[in-house]
Each structure stands twice: as C-alpha cells, then as structure tokens.
C-alpha cells in the first residue's frame, strides 16, 4: 500500500475502509466490523500526504475516515470516488478542509461528528479564559524555573471576570454553551455577534436574570450586537466560536484588535485562521496588559514568529475536544456514518425528537442510520422515519 505502517482489523471483511489515524475507544471498530468491513488504520503521528492517501485508497475502497488536518480537495475526493468509495467520513465536527461542493457533485456523502464536542470545547474555552485572565501560564513557568521567592502584593496581577462583560463571536452550540457557563458561574453580562438571532440563548439568560432578582441579586443581561466592533469595544472577554469560511478568514485583524479594551482577554478555540496571528503578535507586544488564550493556530501546527515568546499569550496544542468521552464519541459517530452508508441505511434524524446522537454512543443496538451527513439534503439521501410512540410513552 505505502511504506507507512498499517494495522489491519478484520482482514476478511468484504468492505474496505481506510482510517488515516489511530482512533480512541473500541466501539467504532465494533460498528465497522459488524458491517463486515476490513479496517486499515494508518500508524504514526505525522499527517498523511495526498500521495499517501491516494496510494492507501488503491484501485478499490469503500470508505475513508479522515482528519481535519488533511486536505480533501476536489482532486482527492475525485480519486476516492474513482476507487469506488461510497462515503468520506470526517473525525471532526468542522469540515472546512473538505470541498463539500465537489463531493456533492461527485455524489459522495460527507460525514461529520456533531453533538459530542459542545460542552467539552466550551470548557476548554473557559479554561483558556481564566488561564489568560489570571496569568496561570506565567505563574507555572515561574514555579518550574524556581523563580518564586515568596508572596508579593503586586505579583502577576490579573483580571477579575466576575460581573464583567463577555463577548461571543458566533453564538452557535459551542459559543452558546460557553456563554451560559460564564453567565451562570460568574454572572457576566453577555453580548453576542452572529448573523442569526439566538432567541433560545436570550431567553435562557433572561430566565437566569429573573432567578437572580428573585434571590436578591442584580440581574445579568444578554443582547445581540449589530456590528463586531460594537461587541469588541464593550467586552472584557471576547471568545471566538465562528465557523471558518472565506468571509471569516482573519475576522480578527489589526483594526479589530485595536478596537478592544487594553486589558481585554481574547480566546480562540475554534479555527486558527479566524485570527491574523501576525497582527495578534504585534498587538500583544504593544499592549502587555492585553491577554490571549489560543487552542488553534493559523498555520497549525506552526505558530507565527514571535508568538511563543509572548508572556501574555496562553498556548495549548488544539485540545478543545480532548476528553476521553468526546474523542471516543467522535470515533463512534465517524464509524457509524461510514457503516450506515455502506449498508444502505438512511440518515438521522427525520424529525424533531431524533436529533440527539446519544443512542449511537450508549445504546446496545444503535439506530440503523448515519448520524450526520452534511450534504444529505443536496444528495437527496433518505431520512430515518420517526417511530410511533409506545402507548406508555403517549400516556
């Protein structure tokens, strides 16, 4: 196949599935072997090149489970389709590395893994928020270097976030979850910027505000900003949760950074290219009390020159979804997408009440459906029919 080492599971399987990275857990492999798949898993930590992927596909393949670190261009997807593949399934909820339009033209379903990353990624954004605001990375470096010689009244003074103003750029599932965590936990007022009104989030914060008033505390507020600059000028913390598109590339550049407060905190646990990293380096150098927490990078895994030398930036290596439960759940959903399409099953969900992916993760007999196909509508794929309620459920 290639000079890379591969592990083969269920070698007698009639369907051939290539997996471009070792995945956590066991359930995902059980789903594929139950679908009579021969599963070929690439070993090693480095990213497969386009040539390696083409060689791995060979003359015949039924499905690929790939990674967001790989480029699935029209050419790569065309080669996949030419080898007989019925689906490309991504081990991620985002798919900006996949030419979905080209896949749709080829009649190739593209799977992803929503529903298991929301709270986990929101928690990482919260962790970065406090690590940056309270200068935890600087403190840890001080301790490890043996430079702590005793408590001082002015040592590593950070920012108090309690009752501050929180800004969310992109109020989808993860952004809204992050917002609720800080509004509830630290009674921050919330400003969000999104192309859509998030009425559910606004109602939630209003209900929490009423709860606070009922207990003798000041309420919190939630409002949608009409413009990004309006949010940036108002907020003590700005966390980015927007999808990466041509229109959001470098959403945060020099003018946007300049609009923020001098002691603001900027967090990005979404996609690296949403921030102009060179502009961020320059801004952090010029504003030492400005702080940032980053989980993703513009040219990942590389960082912009000078970024690593900044004390006022917290850097972690793309850990947003890195909990055991979430990563195993992602593997399960990615495999379930592939197994379902290979067996001719419909797509989940068909109607309200079938949107939760928990049955794929927990049920001994998961639904006979693909959890999430991003171009299912465009391809006209059938949907799983809603099951009638049992009499005891109706009562």
pLDDT of residue 4 exceeding 90:
no
Note the pLDDT tens digit of each residue in 352-387: 566 789 999 989 999 999 999 999 999 999 999 865
Digit-coded pLDDT (tens) for 175-204: 999 999 999 999 999 999 999 999 999 999
Residue 149 annotated to the active site: no
All structural domains of the chain with their residue ranges = 6-116+323-394, 119-315
Distance CA 248, CA 374 (A): 20
Phi, psi of 63 (to 5 degrees): -160, 155
Distance from C-alpha of 48 to C-alpha of 283, rounded to nearest angstrom: 35
Does the domain spanning 6-116+323-394 belong to CATH 3.40.50.720?
yes
Cis before residue 349, ω within 30 degrees of 0?
yes
Query: Is 184 a catalytic site residue?
Result: no
| Topology alike, domains 6-116+323-394 and 119-315 | yes
- Position 385 scores a pLDDT of 83
Whether 229 sits among the annotated catalytic residues: the reply is no
Topology annotation, domain 119-315: Rossmann fold (3.40.50)
Tens digits of residue pLDDT in 303-351: 999 999 999 999 999 999 999 999 999 999 999 999 999 999 999 986 5
Active-site residue (options: 123, 202, 263, 300):
300
CA distances for 18 relative to 2, 7, 22, 283, 376, angstroms: 13, 10, 11, 44, 22
Q: Rounded to the nearest 10 degrees, how much is the dihedral formed by the CA atoms of 47, 51, 56, 61?
A: 120
Which of 168, 160, 164, 161 is closest to 223 using CA atoms? 168
- pLDDT for the residue 362: 87
Is the model's pLDDT at 56 over the cut of 80? yes
Are the CB atoms for 231 and 252 separated by under 8 Å? no
Structure pTM? Answer: 0.90
- Active-site entry in 233, 318, 368, 383: 318
Count other Cβ atoms within 10 Å, centred on residue 213.
12
Q: 373 and 341 in contact (C-beta within 8 Å)?
A: yes
């Amino acid at each position: 196949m290639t000079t890379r080492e591969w592990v083969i599971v269920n070698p007698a399987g009639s369907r051939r599935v290539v997996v471009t990275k070792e995945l956590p857990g066991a359930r995902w492999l059980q789903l594929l072997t139950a679908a009579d798949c021969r599963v070929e898993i690439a070993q090693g930590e480095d990213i497969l090149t386009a040539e390696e992927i083409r060689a791995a596909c060979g003359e015949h393949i039924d499905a690929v489970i790939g990674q967001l670190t790989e480029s699935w261009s029209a050419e790569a997807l065309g080669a996949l389709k030419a080898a007989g593949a019925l689906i490309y399934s991504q081990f991620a909820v985002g798919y900006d590395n996949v030419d979905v339009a080209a896949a749709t033209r080829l009649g190739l379903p593209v799977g992803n893994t929503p529903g298991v990353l929301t709270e986990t990624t929101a928690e990482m954004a919260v962790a970065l928020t406090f690590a940056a605001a309270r200068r935890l990375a600087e403190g840890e470096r001080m301790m490890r270097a043996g430079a702590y010689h005793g408590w001082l009244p002015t040592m590593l003074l950070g920012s108090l976030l309690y009752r501050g103003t929180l800004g969310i750029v992109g109020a989808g599932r993860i952004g809204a979850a992050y917002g609720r965590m800080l509004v509830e936990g630290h009674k921050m007022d919330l400003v969000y910027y999104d192309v859509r009104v998030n009425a559910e989030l606004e109602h939630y914060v209003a209900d929490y505000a009423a709860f606070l008033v009922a207990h003798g505390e000041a309420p919190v507020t939630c409002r949608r900003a009409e413009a990004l600059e309006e949010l940036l000028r108002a907020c003590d913390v700005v966390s980015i949760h927007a999808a990466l598109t041509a229109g959001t590339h470098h959403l945060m550049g020099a003018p946007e950074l300049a609009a923020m407060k001098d002691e603001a905190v900027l967090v990005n646990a979404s996609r690296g290219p949403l921030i102009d990293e060179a502009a961020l380096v320059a801004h952090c150098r010029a504003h030492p009390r400005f702080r940032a927490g980053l989980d993703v990078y513009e040219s990942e895994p590389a960082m912009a020159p000078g970024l690593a030398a900044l004390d006022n930036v917290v850097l972690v290596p793309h850990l947003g979804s890195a909990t055991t439960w979430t990563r195993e759940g992602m593997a399960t959903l990615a495999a379930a997408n592939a197994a379902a399409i290979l067996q001719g099953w419909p797509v989940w969900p068909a109607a309200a009440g079938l949107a939760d992916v928990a049955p794929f993760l927990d049920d001994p007999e998961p639904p006979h459906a693909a959890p999430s196909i991003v171009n299912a509508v465009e391809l006209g794929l059938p949907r799983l029919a809603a099951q009638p309620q049992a009499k005891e459920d109706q009562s």
